[in-house]
Amino acid sequence: MAGVLTVHLLAMNVACGGPLLCIWLSSGERNSKHSKANVGHSLAWLSICAYLIGLLTGGGLLLLPLADELRGAMGRFPARAYWFAGAELLFSALCLWVYARLWGRRHRWRWVHALVALVAVTNLLYHFPPLMVVLGKLARDPAWTVEAVIDRPLFLKLMVRPEVLSLSLHFGLASFAVAAMAVLAVIARKEFTDSQQKSCRGAARIALLSTLLQLPVGIWVLTEISESARGTLLGGNVLASALFLGSLLTTVYLLQGLTRIALGDFVIRDCQRVFWLSVFVVLLMTATLRLSRQKEQGVPVAVKETSLGEETPRLVESKNAREF
């Protein structure tokens, strides 16, 4: 399951961060085969492919035998929420396709073209990371919120809770970092030119800044998880602690490689190396997260009364609660 989740996260990172980097890359020469604009065109189509892979793997996660808790959490949202989510997914897919399809005409409608990418990315980042975090919280702890039905007003309140906001910000920064390293991977497959060396330095700086910003955000995430999960990472479980330490050490090595590229002291293999290092970091962090969350359990809660004195259904005092 950790492998599927890693592919899902990486794919959605590229889909969310790639189009914004394409706006930067689109300023290259119009007719040069090896310009950064050519790299941007490749990244635009890569973002669409990554988006489709992200949707497929996300759906695949729901079919796994271990996803019973997640399916139960989804049952707490009204049906209209999923119609709305489906419409938003289709809208973002259409925007990404239009953006890539009209790449050759971007100089004629430059601002409109950039706006299409911006709308697609902001639509994804606003709706779906918070939704996935909330679903994950409810799957692990049905009593995380006592309301039986998660309607839109309640969901908007849950979105700004620190444990949700920190993970959403973590995902957003990761999207810029992974997308920037995807740019390095794309360039590494092309003929290396002076123009592309400049693009590598620019992409490395974006990835370096995003990764550095992940450090304080990561500490924030660590302070917001449950005490049992935090204890698992910090010595309570040997394997989880080893994976967590390994991810931190690999991140340091990744930062070193990004710094070399950002300063211009690199060869083409360095671009490939930092990309695969980023994949390895995400895999380690995903496995660590999975192990830490195995310690989280739901806790009993009292019945919540509404302003009219009516009671919402009592949550079953079990991690696998299903009925309300």
At residue 198, what is the residue type? K
271, part of any domain: yes
pLDDT-based confidence at residue 72 (cuts at 50, 70, 90): confident
Residue 278: per-residue pLDDT: 92
Residue with tokens 């794919």: 11
Domain containing residue 105: 2-293
| pLDDT per position as a tens digit, 96-113 | 999 999 888 888 888 898
| pLDDT per position as a tens digit, 119-132 | 999 999 988 899 98
238 has pLDDT over 50? yes
303, part of any domain: no
31, part of any domain: yes
- Residue among 145, 34, 11, 131 at smallest CA distance from 74: 131
82 has pLDDT over 60? yes
Residues 6+ apart with CB under 8 A from 307: none
320 has pLDDT over 60? no
146, part of any domain: yes
Residue 311: per-residue pLDDT: 40
At residue 63, what is the residue type? L
Average the pLDDT over each of 8-12, 101-105, 157-161, 291-295 and give the range with the smallest value: 291-295
45, part of any domain: yes
Residues 6+ apart with CB under 8 A from 276: none
Residue 318: per-residue pLDDT: 37
The mean pLDDT of the chain is 83
Residue 206: per-residue pLDDT: 95
Residue 302: per-residue pLDDT: 39
149, part of any domain: yes
Residue 199, CB half-sphere, CA atoms under 13 Å: how many? 35
315, part of any domain: no
Alpha-carbon torsion, ordered 167, 185, 280, 253, to 10 deg: -90
Total count of domains within the chain: 1
319, part of any domain: no
Model's pTM, two decimal places? Answer: 0.83
| pLDDT per position as a tens digit, 181-205 | 999 998 888 767 777 888 899 999 9
